[in-house]
Amino acid sequence: MGLAGATGSGPPRLVFFAGVDGAGKSMLASRTIEHLASRGIDVAAGWARYGNYFSRPLLAATLLSGHNIREYHDGVRFGYHEFWRSPALARLFLELQSVDILFSNHWRLARPSVQHELLVCDRGPYDTMVDVMLDTRIDLTAGGQWRRFVRLLPARHCVVHVSRPIPDIVRSRPVLAHDRDLEAKDALYRKLRDFFDWETVVNIGSPEEVFERVVALVDRRLAG
């Protein structure tokens, strides 16, 4: 999805960095903001970590039912939602999450009153799609179900898929070796990358080399 054109009085343009934990999204998003700001672009970090506004009661109830599991490793909490074990529960969670996303897309990202021309986010609705697909085993790319997760987003947005080999992720963040869903999440990001035709930046090499690839990609997309 392109980023060409001036924003005028419309909503801000958006750049999302998507990928598994440890891939380097936050670092690359932060450096991208600094780079664009140095060029005089009105840019800020977008708040795209979604709250479970409507899903919260269900998440609380499923802690008791055993479908919402918490594990602690080296002081870090890992959560697993096994809603796929109940088709009815999986469908209910999907519906509630889609409402949560609709609410957040509007208030956090898509309103014309957002005070910046460009927002750069290290997480967004596509990451939530991965989480929901993992939790429910419902393929959101089938039957157009993905549309409910990007509804209200400006057409002028793009996604940069940040990919990094799993062994490299675990070496840099050893605690993620305890995440039993890490490889499954990575596979789902690749599935969405192919479905939406995202461009991928592979986080291999020195930080400067990787960042240069990101800058080239983002600059090209901003130029339209």
Q: What is the pLDDT of residue 105?
A: 86
User: Does residue 5 sit within a domain?
Assistant: no
Instruction: Dump pLDDT digits (tens) for 100-155.
Output: 998 888 888 877 666 788 999 998 899 999 999 999 999 999 999 999 999 888 87
Structural domain that includes position 171: 13-51+83-222
Q: What is the pLDDT of residue 215?
A: 92
User: Is the CB of residue 14 less than 8 Å from the CB of residue 157?
Assistant: yes
Please give the share of the chain, as a percent, with pLDDT higher than 70: 92
Work out how many domains the chain is built from and give that number: 1
Q: What is the pLDDT of residue 7?
A: 34
Q: pTM for the complete prediction? A: 0.91
Q: What is the pLDDT of residue 106?
A: 82
Which residues does 119 contact at the CB level (< 8 Å), separation at least 6?
12, 13, 14, 15, 43, 44, 45, 46, 109
Instruction: Dump pLDDT digits (tens) for 20-73.
Output: 999 999 999 999 999 999 999 999 998 766 678 899 999 999 999 999 999 999
> From the centroid of its chain, how far is CA 135?
15
Q: In what order do the strands lie in the sheet with 199-202?
A: 43-45, 118-121, 13-18, 157-163, 199-202
The stretch 180-200 carries a mean pLDDT of: 97
User: Does residue 78 sit within a domain?
Assistant: no
Task: Look at residue 168 and tell me whether its pLDDT is greater than 70.
Answer: yes
User: Does residue 17 sit within a domain?
Assistant: yes
Task: Look at residue 182 and tell me whether its pLDDT is greater than 50.
Answer: yes
Specify which of 44-53, 146-155, 198-207, 214-223 reaches the highest per-range mean pLDDT: 198-207
User: Does residue 112 sit within a domain?
Assistant: yes
From the list 86, 85, 82, the residue with the least C-alpha distance to 68 is 82
Average pLDDT, the chain: 90
User: Does residue 58 sit within a domain?
Assistant: no
User: Does residue 124 sit within a domain?
Assistant: yes
User: Does residue 4 sit within a domain?
Assistant: no
Residue 43's domain is classified under what CATH number? 3.40.50.300
User: Is the CB of residue 149 less than 8 Å from the CB of residue 136?
Assistant: no
User: Does residue 57 sit within a domain?
Assistant: no
Give the Å distances, CA to CA, from 40 to 21, 57, 135, 213. 30, 44, 41, 20
Q: What is the pLDDT of residue 60?
A: 95
